[in-house]
Amino acid sequence: MAPTERECRLILEKVKQTGRIAGVCHVLRYSPYFRELKEIVNKGLLGDIISIQHMEPIEQIHMSHSYVRGKWRSSQTATPIVLAKSCHDTDIIRWLVNSQVKDVHCFGNLKWFTTKNAPEGSTERCTDNCKAEPTCAYSALQIYLRDKKRLYVFDMPDDRDYWDDYILSQLKTTDYGRCVYRMDNDQPDHLTVNLLFRNGATAAFSMEAHVSYEGRRTRIMGSAGDIYGNMENFTMTNFKTRKQTTWKMKTDAHGGGDHRLIKDWLQAIYQQDGSLLSSSIEVSVESHLVALAAEKSRLTRSIEEIILPESESPKPE
């Protein structure tokens, strides 16, 4: 919605003043995986939700690309990574628990992508005859030039014959060619967030950069059963019968939710009915406040309480 609490609340206020339809692309709500989890929770198949463990594995090259070299590397000029990357996760956890968050606590820091971890013989740029480049997991020459990955950040020429020369010129002049250990980044590369909900449930969320894979991991613990899954499949166990049920689906971008989100948005506008959107603007504000509170907690080592005025309190989903 916006990078600050004040701006988020201003958007909410303007929506209420104008009666316009506003939605945030919390696309995970539209993925088949989380839709199925939500249906199971709503049907009571797990009983009361006691706690949730949820992890977002950013994947280490994605982290270096977006939050070390990229435009989101600074929490001051962009926004805290827990908001930029993980407001989707605070939203999806809140959606599953179906209760307002009361307290937020967070630990995390920038442990690896710092100058003290720069390999011996490394240089300011991977193109500066860096002695560490051939063995570096974050070599810009390997990622962009040899593997041709994440080239959407460059205005690539139509003629592929010129690609190598063009990519090399970009690596010599843009931030994407700089050493990941010598950047002006401040985003934490790992953090954990603990949530206490007003209905007594708890959740533990972990955002991890130093992993070789992507795709959220989720564990839901209920009074009558539990679930563990990884965006492509999950297994539910009934405590009484010990019966296990497994769900599997291969999905496309964002867990298969993109097209469903656009469909609901178009229907909401066509019918002038904001209730057709999965997430109301009030709930989207709450998920942002939770992420911002997590950042404050991380920096000040505090427990932050989420206070929503009665007029902003969302209805149960």
Rounded distance between C-alpha atoms, residue 8 and residue 289, angstroms: 8
Please tell me the predicted confidence (pLDDT) of residue 312: 47
Please tell me the predicted confidence (pLDDT) of residue 311: 43
Please tell me the predicted confidence (pLDDT) of residue 49: 98
Rounded distance between C-alpha atoms, residue 206 and residue 198, angstroms: 21
DSSP 248-265: E----GGGGTHHHHHHHH
The residues of the chain scoring below 50 in pLDDT are 311-313
Contact 277, 270 (CB under 8 A): no
Please tell me the predicted confidence (pLDDT) of residue 258: 84
Question: pLDDT tens across 123-141, in order?
Answer: 999 999 999 999 999 999 9
Count Cα neighbours of 188 within 13 Å in the Cβ-side half-sphere: 21
Rounded distance between C-alpha atoms, residue 171 and residue 37, angstroms: 43
- In this structure, the number of other CB atoms found within 10 A of the CB of residue 260 comes to 17
Tokens of 293: 């509170």
Rounded distance between C-alpha atoms, residue 20 and residue 33, angstroms: 30
CATH number of 5-110+189-312: 3.30.360.10
Q: The pTM is what? A: 0.91
Please tell me the predicted confidence (pLDDT) of residue 280: 81
Question: pLDDT tens across 257-302, in order?
Answer: 788 889 999 999 999 998 888 888 888 899 999 999 999 999 999 9
Domain with CATH 3.30.360.10 in the chain: 5-110+189-312
Please tell me the predicted confidence (pLDDT) of residue 257: 79
SS3 label, residue 108: strand
Please tell me the predicted confidence (pLDDT) of residue 309: 59
Residue appearing with tokens 């992508």: 113
SS3 label, residue 83: helix
User: What phi-psi label fits residue 36: left (phi over 0), alpha (psi between -120 and 50 degrees) or beta?
Assistant: alpha
How many percent of the chain have pLDDT more than 70?
A: 95
